[in-house]
């Protein structure tokens, strides 16, 4: 199913305001990124909570030439490079597709590259999926955290921080990312539908076609979020009218399992992973 990414279109929303809800957390992060003593932020929370999107916004803010408490300006040269995914001073570590663990040699190699000074701004920034670090990988990271370089910033994401070494946890600023409220989910779905209707992207148009007549698709999605599984007729109508492929249909069909709370869980996971 097509989903609008945080950087796939120009918007009046910039920096942390791209994330709906989580006001207190966003305020804390805004203060943290402007404090020179904080070189590593660790975002914790369940899958689907939005850790990765927040990590990307933190990284962009640290790379930005003119950051504020709301994050990156999204107008400077550095922000444009980041938006185009060709920023010289940005890197990330995550398991390869189909793998669970990041090879320790890859961790060491990326950390070694951080020694070189940044080319565009004040910092080099690396985002690390810490769920993919085994003990050897964590020990390699620990050495970098114990002797931090002034020009390096780390952003870690992890679902279960207890699996990380205590020595790693003690050297980061940890922030919990909770699942979005149902009210926030509704707002985000409305934004997604609005963006899909106005986008020139063919994939977005295909997504929006589900709601072009009697808003059956919208009803299905909103029913899913509210946990109302009684809208199966609308689901069938949406499948018939919308030119979805089998993967899309399967996604929507999961909303009709009839399990209490399952729909909201699926919607959160799909939008924020």
Same domain for 258 and 231, yes or no, is yes
The answer to whether the beta carbons of residues 118 and 89 sit under 8 Å apart is yes
Same domain for 72 and 206, yes or no, is no
Question: Is residue 153 within a helix (H) or strand (E), and if so which, with residue range?
Answer: strand 152-158
In-domain check, residue 7 = no
Same domain for 23 and 156, yes or no, is yes
- The pLDDT, as a whole number, for residue 50 is 80
Same domain for 46 and 95, yes or no, is yes
**Where does the chain have alpha helices with state H?**
23-33, 51-63, 77-83, 104-113, 135-146, 166-169, 182-198, 202-208, 216-226, 232-241, 246-253, 262-272
In-domain check, residue 3 = no
In-domain check, residue 10 = no
Same domain for 122 and 227, yes or no, is no
Instruction: Give the domain range for residue 109.
Output: 15-176
Same domain for 135 and 229, yes or no, is no
What CA–CA distances, in Å, run from 61 to 98, 150, 164?
A: 30, 16, 26
User: HSE-up of 6 (CA within 13 Å, CB side)?
Assistant: 24
- The domain boundary, picked from 119, 152, 176, lies at 176
In-domain check, residue 220 = yes
In-domain check, residue 134 = yes
Same domain for 154 and 187, yes or no, is no
Same domain for 91 and 109, yes or no, is yes
In-domain check, residue 9 = no
Residue 220 phi, psi (nearest 5): -60, -45
What CA–CA distances, in Å, run from 60 to 64, 81, 88, 123, 131?
A: 6, 10, 12, 11, 22
Position of tokens 């249909």? 249
Instruction: Please provide the average confidence, as pLDDT, over all residues in the chain.
Output: 74
- The domain boundary, picked from 126, 141, 176, lies at 176
Same domain for 69 and 161, yes or no, is yes
What CATH number is associated with residue 34? Answer: 3.40.50.300
Same domain for 60 and 192, yes or no, is no
Sites in the chain below the pLDDT cut of 50 = 1-10, 203-220, 222-273
Number of domains, the chain:
2
- The pLDDT, as a whole number, for residue 28 is 93
Tell me how far the alpha carbon of residue 183 is from its chain's centroid: 19
Can you tell me whether residue 150 is helix, strand or coil? Answer: coil
- The domain boundary, picked from 133, 161, 176, lies at 176
Can you tell me whether residue 66 is helix, strand or coil? Answer: coil
In-domain check, residue 105 = yes
In-domain check, residue 188 = yes
Same domain for 143 and 50, yes or no, is yes
Same domain for 116 and 45, yes or no, is yes
């Amino acid at each position: 199913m097509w989903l609008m990414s945080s950087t796939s279109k120009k918007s009046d929303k910039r920096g942390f305001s791209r994330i709906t809800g989580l006001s207190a957390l966003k305020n804390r992060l805004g203060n943290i990124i402007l404090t020179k003593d904080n070189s590593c932020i660790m975002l914790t929370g369940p899958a689907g909570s939005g850790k990765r999107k927040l990590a990307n916004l933190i990284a962009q803010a640290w790379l930005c030439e003119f950051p504020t408490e709301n994050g990156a300006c999204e107008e400077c040269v550095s922000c444009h490079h980041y938006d185009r995914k060709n920023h010289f001073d940005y890197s990330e570590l995550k398991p390869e597709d189909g793998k669970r663990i990041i090879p320790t040699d890859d961790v060491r190699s990326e950390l070694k590259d951080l020694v070189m000074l940044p080319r565009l701004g004040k910092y080099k920034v690396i985002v690390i999926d810490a769920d993919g670090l085994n003990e050897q990988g964590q020990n390699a990271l620990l050495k970098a955290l114990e002797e931090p370089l002034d020009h390096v910033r780390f952003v870690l994401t992890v679902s279960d921080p207890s699996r990380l070494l205590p020595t790693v946890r003690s050297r980061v600023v940890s922030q919990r990312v909770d699942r979005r409220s149902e009210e926030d989910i509704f707002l985000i779905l409305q934004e997604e539908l609005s963006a899909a209707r106005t986008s020139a992207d063919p994939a977005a148009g295909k997504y929006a076609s589900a709601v072009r007549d009697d808003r059956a698709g919208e009803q299905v999605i909103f029913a899913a979020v509210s946990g109302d599984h009684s809208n199966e007729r609308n689901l069938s109508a949406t499948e018939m009218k919308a030119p979805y492929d089998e993967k899309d249909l399967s996604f929507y069909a999961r909303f009709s399992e009839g399990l209490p709370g399952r729909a909201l869980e699926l919607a959160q996971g799909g939008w924020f992973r």
